[in-house]
């Protein structure tokens, strides 16, 4: 009877205090804890710290925020906070993926002039993510972001005009937007710009310009830029031919998983070009390339393995 009274009194104190003695730790970690979870914690308190650890682990999906300050109400979010929350829903970071919620939040930020949100909204319209696919709206939002200085939007516009996807194909416009992004240091624009110069697509062929843009992308660690720059060095297009330097760049790209570079490293080992001839190394690189579906590597691999 005495024990029951003590338990009753402890429970009364717990309720009267709002569970503050137990909730403080959870407040610090900004975790929402259900009443049922608190009852389980209270009843299991003397079973050891493992119950506490299990409760925290089970509550991770209910984390409100990582900062030490309370999250503002949604109607008071800044445009950047709206954009960041939208990205979380778009990418499934800390929450379940929800393209509709992402489109709502990113759309609000875009309407308020957030350039990155405008760029993302354009892509979402182009891909039909959380919104009906609408290339006209995609182009309009990308242009707004591109004119606001977004290199990603500029690159995306360049790609749209080059391919004619959702817009009338226009190589002059493609070059214009690719160049703007490339001049801001965006490697994924530098490579296609270099390729247009190399092929002479929409502009007079100019391998020196192609080398310039491939090299800039390569020096930033872009695998495709490294491969293309290596190719120019190996052939002598627009630059003095240097097979040793070419192999160095091929290896950098190959180690990042570029299948074309992996194939070319295999070719170098097979021919002993820039390295000691080594069939085993050639086969190893062909296998890596073939595993990614490279048809030339598959053909070489088949030939070598049947000899």
End-to-end CA distance of the chain: 90
Q: Which two tokens stand for residue 155?
A: 């690159």
**pLDDT per position as a tens digit, 160-203:** 999 999 899 999 999 999 999 999 999 999 999 999 999 999 99
Please provide residue 97's backbone torsions phi and psi, each rounded to the nearest 5 degrees. Answer: -60, 135
Percentage of the chain with pLDDT > 90?
73
Give the per-residue pLDDT at 71.
Answer: 52
Give every CB contact of residue 133 below 8 A, 6+ residues apart in sequence.
125, 126, 127
Residue 118 near residue 103, CB atoms below 8 Å: no
Give the per-residue pLDDT at 72.
Answer: 55
Please provide residue 301's backbone torsions phi and psi, each rounded to the nearest 5 degrees. Answer: -65, -45
Give the per-residue pLDDT at 213.
Answer: 98
Q: Which two tokens stand for residue 23?
A: 């909730």
Q: Which two tokens stand for residue 217?
A: 């992308």
Q: Which two tokens stand for residue 147?
A: 């004119």
Give every CB contact of residue 65 below 8 A, 6+ residues apart in sequence.
30, 71
Tell whether the model's pLDDT for residue 11 goes beyond 60.
no
Least confident span in 36-45, 155-164, 178-187, 252-261: 36-45
Tell whether the model's pLDDT for residue 9 goes beyond 60.
no
Residue 113 CB: number of other CB atoms within 10 A?
11
Q: What is the pTM of this model?
A: 0.72
H or E element in which residue 119 lies:
helix 115-127
**pLDDT per position as a tens digit, 60-92:** 333 334 334 455 555 689 999 999 999 999 999
**pLDDT per position as a tens digit, 200-231:** 999 999 999 999 999 999 999 999 999 999 99
Tell whether the model's pLDDT for residue 294 goes beyond 80.
yes
3-state SS, 143-209, equals: HHHHHCCCHHHHHHHHHHHHHCCCCCCCHHHHHHHHHHHHHCCCHHHHHHHHHHHHHCCCCCCCHHH
């Amino acid at each position: 009877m005495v024990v029951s009274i003590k338990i009753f009194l402890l429970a009364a104190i717990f309720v009267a205090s709002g569970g503050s003695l137990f909730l403080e730790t959870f407040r610090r970690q900004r975790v929402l804890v259900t009443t049922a979870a608190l009852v389980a914690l209270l009843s299991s308190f003397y079973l050891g710290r493992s119950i506490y650890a299990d409760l925290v682990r089970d509550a991770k999906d209910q984390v409100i925020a990582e900062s030490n300050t309370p999250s503002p109400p949604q109607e008071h979010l800044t445009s950047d906070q709206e954009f960041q929350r939208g990205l979380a829903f778009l990418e499934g970071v800390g929450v379940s993926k929800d393209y509709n919620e992402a489109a709502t939040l990113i759309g609000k930020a875009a309407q308020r002039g957030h350039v990155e949100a405008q760029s993302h909204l354009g892509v979402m319209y182009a891909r039909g993510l959380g919104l009906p696919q609408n290339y006209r709206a995609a182009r309009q939002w990308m242009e707004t972001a591109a004119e606001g200085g977004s290199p990603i939007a500029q690159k995306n516009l360049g790609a749209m005009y080059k391919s004619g996807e959702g817009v009338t194909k226009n190589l002059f416009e493609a070059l214009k937007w690719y160049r703007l992004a490339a001049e801001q240091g965006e490697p994924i624009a530098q490579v296609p710009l270099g390729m247009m110069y190399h092929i002479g697509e929409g502009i007079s062929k100019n391998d020196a310009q192609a080398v310039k843009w491939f090299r800039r992308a390569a020096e930033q660690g872009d695998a495709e830029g490294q491969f293309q720059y290596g190719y120019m060095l190996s052939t002598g297009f627009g630059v003095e031919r240097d097979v040793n330097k070419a192999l160095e760049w091929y290896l950098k790209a190959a180690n990042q998983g570029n299948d074309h570079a992996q194939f070319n490293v295999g070719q170098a080992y097979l021919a002993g070009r820039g390295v000691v001839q080594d069939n085993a190394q050639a086969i190893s690189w062909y296998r890596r390339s073939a595993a990614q579906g490279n048809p030339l590597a598959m053909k070489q691999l088949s030939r070598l393995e049947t000899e």
